[in-house]
Structure 1
């Protein structure tokens, strides 16, 4: 079969919608936790009922990321409520963010605190599950819905019965079969990146930081990439520094030409909102990459590490700085093997990126005239 330009365009659009929906689902599910978790913990709000309950809820939301990915991907294709629901169900089942196990007799009931009189099935939360599996299964479910429309006219009046069974159940089952292989791919990539970073820390840190600095202002999700390839350790620290570098450049220019609200929104994590301005002037990405490359020197010098989630958020909720300073009991042991103190954190996360951003700004704006601050003018 010869691929025509029209076929290639449709395939590109199909996968782009999958990536966009995945990015949206990840942000919906993880943004509340990334911001509120550290805020509630370090203000000791969790010592009080409402603080501890809110923390439990935002952590619970992260386990619904696959469901949200399925929903967001389906909405990219303008699916109906039924079709959106079955795509979401298949994605949730396959990604393994919620699983079940057997609690033996005598184990304490986590709600009542009383021992169980007999064995019971319990549901277990497993973080975000496997994001790569979620994206793949969401797209498979979308294809299944299109096939049902084309070959069976959507099942007509039986749609509400057959569609959930075939798409929610059938594609969900297929997802559970292919998940181990996709998880293995994710593990290989993450471990491979980490191994290369250990062998050549400086060039790899610079490369990863520059890559994430540019990815941040594209439709691709930095959090999605980080979770999909299970990036961790020094590589995660470098990726997070790339996000921070882009944030610094955006802040410097936005402070000059935009309203205070826009600049504040960027600081709080709305960097992707500047994507239209950046894509109108793609050469501005050179500033992001150069700032990231210089900032990565601090990552290697201080051995700044992170987790997959902290990689994509950067300054958002102080996720990346705190991940490099304090051990997170919710992530697997060995994800972060070295913690830094407040002085390396101040230098690595603030001083070096800020100085790098100012130097790059001076060179590219004043000397090279590559772009102007006005190129970043935009309302969020």
Structure 2
């Protein structure tokens, strides 16, 4: 039972973190680039496409987790039904259903976890009736539990948002350090960093520091795990999302130490450089170049391009290299294998 619990939990964490990258990376790679292209039917259609697929996150998460647990199509499909109804992507208004956003990741995790256990119970007790009853039972039980936990998960997210908001009252440099560290933790947690930033309307240098923290987190995790992960997976940390490491971070909490060091320094530097951002950009970091491009668009002053490069490329990369040398090569506090990813 203990081994099964660990297996289901780790598959849920790994599958959901991979789903985040799959669902969000098209928008991350193209959303900023499309702003520089003339608006026409092609660019408009692409914008619609990359926006729509973000709402597929709960479905992809369910299928990814089902695949990692070696479930069949019936089981994974049944899990996807529960994740869809309880993932937070559907709202009802005036008798119509509206699909939008990428959902509440924390509740997606819980729902998919519930669904994985429901599948195991169905396999044990339904026998020949599995094909008929499994989709319905997984939907009603796991989907129902997910709908019941949604208000609590939203309350948890709002509570964390208020804690983050309090850090904006600190002196600028201290605020930059704290926000950089907090958002580095959020980006590799089941909590949506974008959701938190939007909820508290984090803008200005606070947004810049948050982006810098996420950027430093991305480069640090990518560099420390580069020797055990393929090139594409390594690049996905900062071109996509470092949330791909969520399962490893929860399994090995010591990984937060180098991340906090790098993100705190990077948050302080962008604050000193007076690099800013918007509530929308604050939770993305380097993904799709949203953080640095928004900083360039919203900040002012001399040598702006140089400051952006220093804050979002040079300092994070230097901190990533230093953390890799100190925590992996020198002290062996972290093993590169701790960051190895399973993507199949």
- TM-score, length-scaled by structure 2: 0.74
Counterparts of 1:202 and 1:181 in 2: how far apart (Å)? Answer: 33
Residues 288, 157 of structure 1: CA spacing in aligned structure 2 closer, same or farther, 3 A cutoff?
A: closer
Are 1:350 and 2:309 an aligned pair? yes
What is the CA-CA distance between 1:128 and the residue it aligns to?
1.2
Tell me: higher relative CO, structure 1 or 2? Use CA pairs within 8 A at least 6 residues apart: 2
1:82 equivalenced with 2:79 (yes/no): no
Aligned with residue 45 of structure 2, among 50, 53, 58: 53
Partner of 2:191: 225
In the TM superposition, residue 130 of structure 1 has moved relative to its aligned partner by 1.5
Question: 1: distance between equivalents of 2:319 and 2:154?
Answer: 41
DSSP-derived class of the 2:67 partner: helix
Root-mean-square deviation (Å): 4.4
Q: Counterpart in 1 of 2:11?
A: 17
Q: 2:270·2:311 contact (CA, 8 Å) conserved in 1? A: no
Q: How many residues align?
A: 322
Q: Is the 8 A contact 2:8 2:116 kept in 1?
A: no
How far does residue 157 in structure 1 lie from its aligned partner after superposition? 2.7
Partner of 2:118: 144
Displacement of 1:58 in angstroms is 0.8
Matches within 5 A, 1:160-309: 160-199=131-170, 202-210=173-181, 222=188, 224-227=190-193, 230-232=196-198, 233=202, 237-247=208-218, 268-269=239-240, 289-301=260-272, 302=274, 304-307=276-279
CA offset at residue 90 of structure 1?
A: 0.4
Decide whether aligned partners of structure 1 residues 28 and 196 sit closer, same or farther in structure 2, where only a CA change above 3 A counts. Answer: same
Verify the 8 A CA contact 1:307 1:323 in the aligned structure 2.
no
Q: Offset of 1:364 from its aligned partner?
A: 8.7
Which of 66, 69, 84 matches 1:92?
84
Q: Secondary structure at the match of 2:330?
A: coil
Post-superposition Cα deviations, 1:163-219, rounded to whole Å, max 9, x if no partner, equal: 111111332233223212221221111222122333465445324434655x6xxxx
Segments of 5+ residues of structure 1 without an aligned counterpart are 1-5, 103-120, 327-338
Contact 1:35–1:317 (CA under 8 A) maintained in structure 2: yes
Contact 1:209/1:293 (CA < 8 Å) preserved in 2? yes
**Structure 1 residues 196 and 246 mapped into 2: Cα distance closer, same or farther (>3 Å)?**
closer
Stretches of structure 2 lacking an aligned partner (at least 5 in a row): none
Residue 370 in structure 1 maps to residue 318 in structure 2: no
1:71–1:358: structure 2 CA closer, same or farther, 3 Å change rule?
closer
Alignment of 1:319-338 (within 5 A): 319-324=290-295
Q: Which structure has the greater CA radius of gyration? A: 1
